[in-house]
Amino acid sequence: MAKNLKKNKRFTKTYLSYLILILLVILAIFLMINLINNFNILEKKEIFASFIVSEHIGFDLNDSALTFGLVQPGQSSSREISVENNHEIPVLVNIISKGDISDFLIVSENDFILKPNEKKEISFSVFPLKDIEFKEYKGVVEIILKKI
Amino acid sequence: MTEKKLIKKKIDTISLMGYISILVIILSLANIGVRLTGRATDAGIVNVTIESKTNINFIVSGVDFGSGNLDLGVTSATIDTLGNVINGNWTAITQGFVIENIGNENVTLQLATGKNADTLLGGTNSVYQYNVSNSEASSCTESNVTLGLWVDVNSTSPGTSICNPLNFESSKNEIRVDIKLTIPSDANTGLQSDIFTATATAV
């Protein structure tokens, strides 16, 4: 009886050790992938973006955010940003969007290379669908510069 | 190899995996920590500038004149978004486009169309015009068009400057754009539509 109990205890201990090891390995793999992904990132800029679906048409030329103003369902609104590489090396520019604006946002160019001191204008457009709900749609545009 | 040695080897492999995992975790966390403290990877910096200009596209069929016909015996019919229907059976509509400046600075406003009267309507002596007026008083300081008058559309980009500036102040930041079409009896048939582009630039 005591022998069995000792055996069970040892089995549970081994089982727990394996479980912890597996979790450690999974965590390590996850962090490693993250580390590799982030290793090449030189810089990241976040820009707030929004548009309001309305019966009217409206402008909002806020120069610190990508505000597309009032847009009617089925119509479109565009704004531009310029990206300039002041690093001494060429960089890969990757643009991603987050939030509920993402479903309606289109960028003119993505995953492009900028040489040192090169500047490029990128156009962002929102296209709310005809049956879209009348409300404000917000999100964030991330401009990520990576080493090539 | 004895069973004892095999077990020892197995334990060594498992321990090694554990040590490597812990090392990777420590390195990753250290890297995150370094990044959070603002490590500079090189002296450069990217300049991201949001341009003080924006375009909004809207479709004329959005001002829905619907379908209709010329009255018998007439050479043309005229419809507009002020509720006028002359020599035709279109449904009268009274809703033009309303454009607002909801930002916090004055803007200049240009208006361009994708088509002109010939390309939109065709036929003989067709007319495609717009009329800009203040929806809220003192919103638009007129530029190259006179407020309240019908003018031919301009399909050459970036169009005609209509307000310089369009105010941003609340209760005087709204204009209305109405559309007028004169449809000759030999005009294009079927659904016709066009895209207006309003371009606002910060003053």
Angle between helices B3-36 and A2-39 in degrees, nearest 10: 40
Q: Which residue in the set B27, B48, B59 is minimally distant from A83, CB to CB?
A: B48
Q: What pLDDT, in 10s, does the model give residues B51-84? A: 877 777 776 654 567 788 899 999 999 999 999 9
Q: What is the pLDDT of residue B41?
A: 39
Q: Which of residues 160-179 of B touch A (CB under 8 A)?
A: 166, 174
Residue B27 scores a pLDDT above 70: yes
Inter-residue contact B121 to B170 (CB < 8 Å): no
What percentage of residues in chain A have a pLDDT greater than 90?
A: 56
Q: Which of B56, B61, B105, B201 should be substituted to probe chain A, the one whose Cβ sees the most A Cβ atoms within 10 Å?
A: B56
Averaged pLDDT, A56-64: 90
Q: With contacts defined as CB-CB under 8 Å, which chain B residues touch A68?
A: 54
Check A69 against B103: CB less than 8 A apart: yes
Give the residue carrying structure tokens 């069973």: B3
Check B100 against A57: CB less than 8 A apart: yes
Interface A-B: count of C-beta contacts within 8 A: 170
Give yes or no for B36 touching A (CB within 8 A).
no
pLDDT grade for A102, boundaries at 50, 70 and 90: very high
Give yes or no for B14 touching A (CB within 8 A).
yes
Provide the ipTM: 0.72
Q: Which residue in the set B29, B43, B53 is minimally distant from A80, CB to CB?
A: B53
Q: What is the pLDDT of residue B45?
A: 65
Check A28 against B45: CB less than 8 A apart: no
Check A89 against B42: CB less than 8 A apart: yes
Distance (Å) from the alpha carbon of A93 to chain B's nearest alpha carbon: 10
Q: With contacts defined as CB-CB under 8 Å, which chain B residues touch A56?
A: 98-100, 174
Weakest mean pLDDT among A43-47, A84-88, B13-17, B181-185 = B13-17
Helix (H), strand (E), coil (C) string for chain B = CCHHHHHHHHHHHHHHHHHHHHHHHHHHHHHHHHHHCCCCCCCCCEEEEEEEEEEEEEEHHHCCCCCCCECCCCCEEEEECCCCEECECCCCCCCCEEEEECCCCCEEEEEEECCCHHHHCCCCCCEEEEEEEECCCCCEEECCCCCCCEEECCCCCCCEEEEEEECCCCCCCEEEEEEEEEEECCCCCCCCCCEEEEEEEEC
Inter-residue contact A81 to A121 (CB < 8 Å): yes
Residue A78 scores a pLDDT above 90: yes
